[in-house]
Structure 1
Amino acid sequence: MSREIVAGVDGSPESLAAADWAAREALHRGLPLRLVHAWRWEPLDIPFLPDRQGQERTAQDVLRDAEAALARRHPEVRLTAEVLADTPVSALTSTEARAELLVIGSRGHGAVAGFLLGSYGQQIIAAATRPVVAVRSRDGGSGSRAEGRGGVIVVGQLGGPEDSAPALRFAFETAAARGASVRAVRAWSLPPLFAYSPGSLALADEAGGLVPYEEKALREALAPWRERFPQVPVAEHVEIGSAGQVLLSSSGDARLLVVGRRARRGAVGPRIGSVAHAALHLAPCPVAVVPHDG
């Protein structure tokens, strides 16, 4: 089955910026782009609201305007568009069978406030089984640093090699498609007095201490992806601190920040996790959230 990039549009500047980012990514990857607008008839007994036909025309206009704008800006993109009769969350996640990644808009209010993701965006990221990229209006516009080839893709590496493999794969694939480099970041913290077992302390001693142990863990996680993508330059960064803080401090010049998210459902439903939450709200660039088992 052929793959595609899927972008959700709703007529807002944020969703149009996301669609523009998705079009450039489609060109980098040589994939088609599918625009999706979710609309479902909700009859309301309020006389000044449009009727069903009026709402449907509005939905079609939103999609047609977005499609026309992208066709003008990116004539090389293989572009399709459709209105899906569903809620935004169900509409976007229903496209995952063919989606390489999903792209959504996110409201941003400057470098300090960062992302105000909105309930739909959080639900889509939490429910998706494919990578989701959240783009603010300033991240996707013409002339932004998201445009063009090259640059740095920052990716967080946590736990063992299997834990972060999906995020690393996505980062290396994106870097290879763009001619970019990868900066792999691993955060660590001093263990509580009784947190480390004798076995883990012995491994740290064998590596020469806690810092070399963390550096070795990062090298081992990166090894298969270096081998698979030898053309991608890689920089390794290990720093003490919380994962969210270290990732954010390492992504000031990034074209894209890639973080993992455990795909397990919690007691109150799917969650996006604290690291992804921090990245989505505070990162100065688009953020890709990649689900993984664990």
Structure 2
Amino acid sequence: MTRTAQPTPIPRQTHVRRPRIAVGTDGTAWGDAALDWALRHAATQSASVDVFAAQASDDQAIARRLAAYRWLFTTVTVSPDSPVNTLLHASNDHDTLVLGYRGRRHGPFGLGRSVLPIVTESQCDTVVVRGETRAVQGEHRWITAAVGGTHDEAVIRRAVQFAVRTRSKLRLIHAVPLPGTHTVLTATEPADILEHAHDLVREIAPDLTPSLRLVRSHPHEAVRASDRSDLLVLGPGNRPGKLSVITSTALHMAPCPVLVVKPF
């Protein structure tokens, strides 16, 4: 009996979705820092970068920065619309939105007037680039995640992703209210919250051993525990349309860039 050779099946090529990062820049020092941050982190995951530039931006400065990452897929759009409208629209079809913590217009505490509205209403994760120079440039090699809220799983997953991509260590912090405060206490023991977070990290990335830190303070004061970090990751809070006190405090005072997770 003669056997007929069967044709070798051609493996199907699966389409791998490229992560998309949107970044707003306005030609100020923090606008430039936001663009640098977005490009550097896009390179760790081969993400595309869509730059939304204000009309006052320096086109040549943007071009020089993009040239340093010429292997990335990038676009530049100059929008006459307000930064809030432009970036919120961009958040609908991007994975991460990046902006500087202040631009040409900022309030009495230094935070740009557009930042809180954008972070509150964004439809994707938002990174607000701020803090001291070494943190902005990612030199500490520590990622800090604030746990103890409703969105802990999403916060931990994002923090682990950044730690793995940047080959950084991971710190988990949880703030315990001081005795006598009016903070509503939960039935969960603080140690259990950190232990659960630790277990989730090991489940996601078995080779990553997080550092655990219990902070005895008002929750919003735990922002100080993110010193010597390159990124502070936290959730938006439990009330839709309103950021929590700790998240708002981090945007105003954190010594490093802040990633506010958009839970789904």
Normalised by the shorter chain, which TM-score bucket?
0.7 to 0.9
How many residue pairs are counted as aligned between the two chains?
243
Aligned with 1:247: secondary structure? Answer: helix
Q: What's the offset of the Cα at 1:66? A: 4.3
Return the alpha-carbon distance in structure 1 between the equivalents of residues 64 and 136 of structure 2: 18
Matched with 1:255 is 230
Distance 1:226 1:98, change over 3 A: farther
**Which protein is richer in helix relative to its size?**
1
Matched with 1:54 is none
Alignment of structure 1 residues 1-150 onto 2, 5 Å: 2-37=18-53, 59=55, 62=57, 64-107=59-102, 116-136=110-130, 139=133, 144-147=134-137
Which stretch of the first structure deviates more once superposed, 21-30 or 94-103? 94-103
- Whether the aligned pair in 2 keeps the contact of 1:9 and 1:63 (CA below 8 Å) is no
Aligned with 2:223: secondary structure? Answer: helix
Question: Aligned to 2:171, which of 172, 178, 183?
Answer: 183
Q: What's the offset of the Cα at 1:242? A: 1.1
Report the RMSD for the aligned CA atoms in angstroms: 2.9
TM-score when normalising by structure 2: 0.80
Q: What's the offset of the Cα at 1:148? A: 5.5
Question: Aligned to 1:231, which of 207, 216, 240?
Answer: 207
Q: What's the offset of the Cα at 1:166? A: 1.6
Matched with 1:283 is 254
Return the alpha-carbon distance in structure 1 between the equivalents of residues 58 and 215 of structure 2: 45
Return the alpha-carbon distance in structure 1 between the equivalents of residues 195 and 131 of structure 2: 35
Return the alpha-carbon distance in structure 2 between the equivalents of residues 10 and 99 of structure 1: 20
Alignment of structure 1 residues 190-229 onto 2, 5 Å: 200=187, 213-229=189-205
Return the alpha-carbon distance in structure 2 between the equivalents of residues 193 and 70 of structure 1: 48
Aligned with 1:116: secondary structure? Answer: coil
Distance 1:237 1:154, change over 3 A: same
Distance 1:137 1:258, change over 3 A: closer
In structure 1, what residue type is equivalent to 2:51? L
Matched with 1:111 is none
